[in-house]
Amino acid sequence: MPADAVATLRACYEAALRAADPARVVRDGFAAHEVALEPDRDRPHWIVALGKAAPAMAGAAIAFLDAERRPLAGGVVIGAAEAGGDPRLEWLVGDHPVPGARSARAADRLGALVERIGRDDVVLVLVSGGTSSLVGAPIAGVRAEDLAALGALLLGAGVPITRINAVRKRFARWGAGRLAEAMPGARILPILLADVPNEDPAMIGSGPVSPDRLEAAHVERILREAGVATRIPLSVAATLGAMRAGQVAETPKPGHAAFARVEPPFVVGNAAAVEAVAAEATAAGYAPVLLSHTPLQGDATAAGRVVAHALARAPRGALLAWGGETTVHLPADHGLGGRCQQLALSAAETLDDLGLGGGWVLAVGTDGQDGPARAAGALVSGTTWRASEAAGGQPGRSLRRCDAFAALDAAGAIVPPRITGTNVMDLVVAVRP
């Protein structure tokens, strides 16, 4: 019943997006902090919304403050696409996935806003995926082009996102708790839409209002283990060495006064999306519904094989779901694709090898975009590999060259891109009708 399987997978995707709806996350975050917010209801309130979901999160925050008749003093919204809204806030666009001139301007405007915030004011800090790039300006001593090159270097080396954030936030003007440090005495309420495994507030958006537990020596070790320690830009290397020598200030650590009035972060992430998939699949009659509590990480090609083999072991009627974010190790001669497409193409090859023609795998980004290709991901079956070959797609060559888009597009397996307004990493769902 392939048609039913495809319909179920698409419905699961929609259910995951609803669970990670930015406006819903903000409303739930306010409800969770209702008691903490009450004593300061008459103080000026400010909104700092950063990331791909910033416009939607800011809109929900404005609605809440107005409904509660709380004074909105101002704020800034920095997203990935043009958006307009309440004139009490400044609406800006940064650069993504590599920070550029718009990111630098956005970082400056955030700095100008912070200077207006007084002691005992209430600051709603709404952070979602993409923040690290969208306000990606460097600290003093690091060149802007070097900060961008550092991120590109780590991505190209296939470094997991948590380690990328651990490194680059140290050199980011508003990362590693520095935003909280710039607002002494203000009451800060963080509401976070997580795009990292384990939903660690210190890693979401480079942790603008969270303490940094790592020292410079830990960052040096990450770079060595990734094999890029000798390739990082000069200004980054010099600043890191100066931090280790105590010549440049370390990032604010746990116990720092900057975090004395930061409320416990309210976080919604990939786990909520995967749970929503389970509910949708159960309602559709799939059984058993099996969720992985270990995030998909590491090489996308290897992860695709893992997913296909797990599906082959599952009984008929089963649905399996994973969340996470894999990586792609780009060869020198590479093509066009994304981590979800690479995973899906690898899964399609393994399903073909196993003779599992009735199996289906959906691999998509919850932000509606997978890498630089025009795709949100891919939907493959046990027949996709041969369909691609028949259409001249050369899937074997594409898999080796990380050129998954070409092979999947030939087989009609690409899931079109879309603006979802959210970002809680990737989703992989497999069914065996």
pLDDT, tens only, 216-267: 999 999 999 999 999 999 999 999 999 999 999 999 999 999 999 999 999 9
| CA angle at 414 for the pair 325 and 193, rounded to the nearest 5° | 35
Please indicate, yes or no, whether residues 259 and 332 belong to a single structural domain of this protein. no
**One domain, residues 333 and 261:** no
Q: Could you tell me if residue 284 is inside a domain?
A: yes
Among 361, 354, 408, 419, smallest CA distance to 385 is for 408
pLDDT of residue 39: 92
43 and 65 co-located in one domain: yes
Say if 149 falls within a structural domain: no
Same domain? For 198 and 330 the reply is: no
Which residues, in sequence order, are bridge partners of residue 362?
Answer: 379, 429
Looking at residue 372, which CATH number applies to its domain?
3.40.1480.10
DSSP-derived secondary structure for 37-52: HGGGTTS-EEEEEEST
Q: What is the pTM of this model?
A: 0.85
Structure tokens at 31: 């409800």
- Taking 50 as the pLDDT cut, the residues of the chain under it are 1-2
Statement to judge: residues 257 and 354 lie in one domain: no
Report if residue 371 sits inside a domain. Answer: yes
Q: Is residue 287 part of a domain?
A: yes
Q: Are residues 62 and 88 both part of a single domain?
A: yes
Task: Give the integer Cα–Cα distance in Å for 134 and 150.
Answer: 15
Do 29 and 266 contact (CB within 8 A), yes or no? Answer: yes
Residue 229 domain-assigned? no
297, 263: one domain:
no
Give the per-residue pLDDT at 331.
86
List Cβ neighbours of 397 (8 Å cut-off, separation of 6 or more): 403
For residue 1, what pLDDT is reported? 35
Q: Is residue 198 part of a domain?
A: yes
Q: Are residues 258 and 302 located together in one domain of the fold?
A: no
Identify the pLDDT of residue 157.
Answer: 85
Distance, CA of 139 to CA of 175 (rounded, Å): 9
Domain-embedded: residue 145: no
Residue 151 in domain? no
Domain hosting 83: range is 21-137+172-214+251-268
Regarding beta strands 318-324 and 414-415, do their DSSP bridges make them parallel or antiparallel, or are they unpaired? unpaired
Instruction: Give the pLDDT score at 2.
Output: 44
Please tell me the predicted confidence (pLDDT) of residue 257: 96
Same domain membership, residue 339 and residue 323: yes
Beta-carbon contacts of residue 293 (< 8 Å; ≥ 6 apart): none
Q: DSSP class of residue 433?
A: -
- In terms of domains, do 321 and 397 share one? yes
300 and 362 assigned to the same domain: yes
Domain count, the chain: 2
CATH number at residue 106: 3.40.50.10180
Residues 179 and 284 in one domain: no
